[in-house]
Chain A
């Protein structure tokens, strides 16, 4: 079990069908206007100005309100007002399911309570240090926390974060390593390097008698799939936080990854027997 979407939870409980889920989501999307739509409705922006702001948003990876203020097309007060309007009008998926008549309010509320309990284990734990100058603190915590959670969930491997540091020049993770690139709302690359003992433990847990520790291709594949599962669940968690992103297929790392003029944030997740799982984010 990984991070879930509430709609899926409703499907699993057979509260709604897949056709009803699609209909409810489309209804929800039609009802929940974007900030730009509110601004046009209110007369603060023209459609062309809203499009201009969208272009800047995409170029510089900004929220709509910030991009609008940067272009001096909206004031901070107007952005706050529009955000409040958006918040007040927002309908959740559960609301859409009820409004469409697919399930009762009581049934949806009960399912939501069970969903929150089910997903409690994926709340970000506190105590993960993040450099103070970094703006993406919550995002970084999601990556590190999800790595630890998946080591535990998939390999029964407990770890503790022992610190972080910036790396420049190049990054060369030890052990069996894989890299996955993110696109969309988050542009970064995630690298994980597992020492041999951790790789074996993970491989045995995943594959049982099918795991061949002597075959390097099998070991590498297990790490790549681990990397894929961590990052897929990061995408899901970030989506719940309002950040849309996507991942590319995992890459094998057989040598150092050049950082050019950029840098990577490195963490080590230590196992009780002193092995170090290497985690790096190229931001």
Chain B
């Protein structure tokens, strides 16, 4: 177990206390709390993609930003033509990315690592949807432009993916630890985190469950990896300097978020808040996944 999973556990106990005392957490408070955590740690973990990539690869700023922004623009356009397929792509990208970062620190052989990370990511996404299906379906049907998402959340593929990924993942883990003599402590850590993920996704709302996972088991971990990587490659790097590095694009993301939100609220932009959030997060996820895949690949080699 690492300090981030410990913090995750602390928050779970805290939420138990809150839920016991209040019975439920008002949706508005959920949004405020989750939004704050995502601004503080979620968005920043992707805000230095440019620094991370250019530290590992020799590429000009123009090429990098053209690549990054082209993906964002292309994906945004596709959202308005094929929203259902773009949602599916977003879920697959997230599964791949979450799995990759979840396994990045374990010493598995490369093929098993790849497979384990894919199944791990599938567990995260499929269990989030599986345990919160009714809530996601209600959310999708609240707005006319997200009704099409219901068929994705209601699909039998979610249940199949849920059970298949768990079984295959456990089998792979068993193989890795029995035949490749891996550290048993790593096995316990992986299983413990998986149990925590299932418990939180089952017990809490989709927003709280996802935010807890995203912040404590993903974003904070990736931030630490990025910090350690940059410290090793750029010489003397302090936490203060690292936070300053994160600020520009975090602030830029917040600025665009605010501009688009004002556009929605004033009626200038004719899309629902729910669709805006999904599209907004997914379009910055696409290039981020490429950058981080390159990061983990180059870290190994």
Q: Do A and B come from one complex?
A: no
B residues at A contact (CB < 8 Å)? none
